[in-house]
A and B are shown apart, each in its own frame.
Chain A
């Protein structure tokens, strides 16, 4: 089963994403801040990370940097209320950048898209 780590400080939003993404058939692990998120990754690397940028205890971009440096293969989606971070070149390292919306369709589509791509890459690299 595909595991997704969700780093989000807003409790209700965590709950919302958990519910919604579970319905899509994903296993969801949550973290409330950057530090916790990093711990969860080290515990058990997920197949994908969705994170807000504006999270307490290490901001999102910092956390992202640390994760990327150790786990190069985990795709990251930035899901935030701040469209202005789009211009920050650090955020370019993310696989997708989504402005938060009550309509989760865009997020769901992005997750699918990235997972398919990852699967393809993996297949290509696997020796027969």
Chain B
């Protein structure tokens, strides 16, 4: 459909021209030929009108026919003024010889291609910036060889800095013998038809792409890229605001477009090479949706209250209708603040609506080119906004679902862990009790032996070793049985700092022995919390012990207590050997240990206790650097 529409009129023009020109075999561009062409062009125009091209979307609305009238007048003036009538039919003409050298070109093409010097004598690809030269796609060559040639859709920037979509059609010019000596290159402005066709096509394709995009940020960028892409709506800039129901405001989310005229020029210089198809747009999106431009940053900082609703974006959302502002300076709907931030005198606001519910608004303008915003364009944009809103809703729903899923997995992990704890607990307690009896015997008898006098001192030393080992085993057993059956916490209001202070005092000697320097940083006025002091002390001891054990050659141990939001945060920072990523993942697993004499229950018990208090433990560690254990306890 694309081709059919956009080449509809050019085909006819070409055929007419070709038939007339081929009557003038020999081809000398003299006055008579030019005047002949003049007649032809007149005929073509009449023909075009007669065929009712207006109905074929190109010249659909009133605006366009007005333009056409202006066009007509201008044409007549210019025709009188300027002998070269070929310039006014709005077709670029350029005659090539067999070497693809230009022997003649009309003004239109020179203007369109923004040529500074006469193109006569240049090669065609130099002025057209054509990359097909020498390939089998070269339209001129194809025509010389008896085939046909055309290049559909090239974007150019004209002398007037207008972005324009053109088609090049090569037409053979034959001499008396029927040999092709020249090729006439016709360049046809297909911008309008291109735009409309592509807009519709894109709407459909983008609709599909959008509904398939569940990543909200990416989706928003896709939407605004469509609004600004010359290939689609072609606005200079676009911003997107979404409603935040909780605060009843519109939040600026994203803006796309150049931040200054210089940037705009820069971008449009290579616009034709940048986005050449929908696929390009989508590909580009994958790595560019996190754009960092002043315009985007500014937009993200914008917030408008919905309840006061004086702002034009707010009333657009409330009325659920697009608003075109033609003269912002004198439009009472636009506040000064908005006008100043936006900086454009003409812009359009289109609401994003799904199921009759506003979701947000798109604001678009042509601040750099000053191109007027037509109602027709706004209508299409409104249609597009409908699709966009639906896609946004999908993405939001998806995000909510994903959050819920994450929550669920986390709860599940917790469940599994406590289940594991329970099983390990009952198993452990059974084993522990079975072991305790023989242990009592070993230790007890060893002790009774130690009362005897031995002549060999070695016997005494060996008995002491047995006693030490038994004691160690018994401590492990106590740990396990405590762990398998943690008592119900007896909570009272206590000062966390005091508990920590006590624990540190308890460890004073031990720290000195190990050359560990202790630094205490307690924030003043830490509130009391409802906790079981014995249990919390046990936790502090476990964690401080671990920290000291990680610093066999001494180091610094910092204990920080602060309030964060409604919680107390206790950081225990060591400069010890740290943990590998693997170890870090497992420290809360019961019986995980990397120590030759460790039981591996310290952290598991600590986490259980802290969770029973409604808090949490977060461990950060770097291998070879040290470890930070952060405990949080809610204050109420």
The interface of chain A, by Cβ under 8 A from chain B, is: 10, 12-13, 16-17, 19-20, 23, 81-84, 100-104
Contacts and interface: CB of A to CB of B under 8 A. Distances in A.
Contacts of B467: 102
A23 B433 CA distance: 28
B440 interface: yes
B437 A102 contact: no
A13 B470 contact: no
Contacts of A81: 433, 436-437, 440
Contacts of A82: 433
A108 to B, nearest CB: 12
A99 to B, nearest CB: 8
Contacts of B441: 10, 12-13, 16, 102
Contact of B474 (A16, A19, A23, A102): A102
A23 B447 CA distance: 13
A60 to B, nearest CB: 14
A100 B437 contact: yes
A102 B442 contact: yes
A82 B440 CA distance: 13
B443 A13 contact: no
Contact of B440 (A16, A19, A23, A83): A16
A16 B433 contact: no
Interface hub of B441, B467, B481, B485 (most chain A Cβ within 10 A): B441
Given A19-B448, A83-B481, A103 B437 contact: no
17 contacts: A10-B437, A16-B440, A16-B444, A19-B448, A20-B448, A23-B448, A81-B440, A82-B433, A83-B485, A84-B485, A100-B440, A102-B439, A102-B447, A102-B467, A102-B470, A103-B447, A104-B444
Interface of B: 429, 433, 436-448, 467, 470-471, 474, 481, 485
A52 B58 CA distance: 102
B485 A102 contact: no
Q: Is the interface of B mostly helix, strand, loop or mixed?
A: helix
Given A12-B441, A103-B447, 15 more contacts: A12-B438, A13-B440, A13-B444, A16-B440, A20-B444, A81-B433, A81-B437, A82-B433, A83-B481, A84-B485, A100-B440, A102-B444, A102-B446, A102-B447, A102-B470
B375 to A, nearest CB: 82
Nearest to A102: B443
A19 B470 CA distance: 19
Nearest to B467: A102
Nearest to A105: B447
A16 B438 CA distance: 11
B471 A16 contact: no
What 10 pairs between A and B have smallest CB-CB spacing? A102-B443, A81-B436, A16-B444, A12-B441, A81-B433, A100-B440, A102-B440, A102-B444, A102-B470, A10-B437
A72 to B, nearest CB: 30
A47 to B, nearest CB: 22
Contacts of A20: 444, 448
Contacts of A103: 443, 447, 471
A19 to B, nearest CB: 6
Contacts of A10: 437, 441
Contacts of A19: 448
Contacts of A13: 437, 440-441, 444
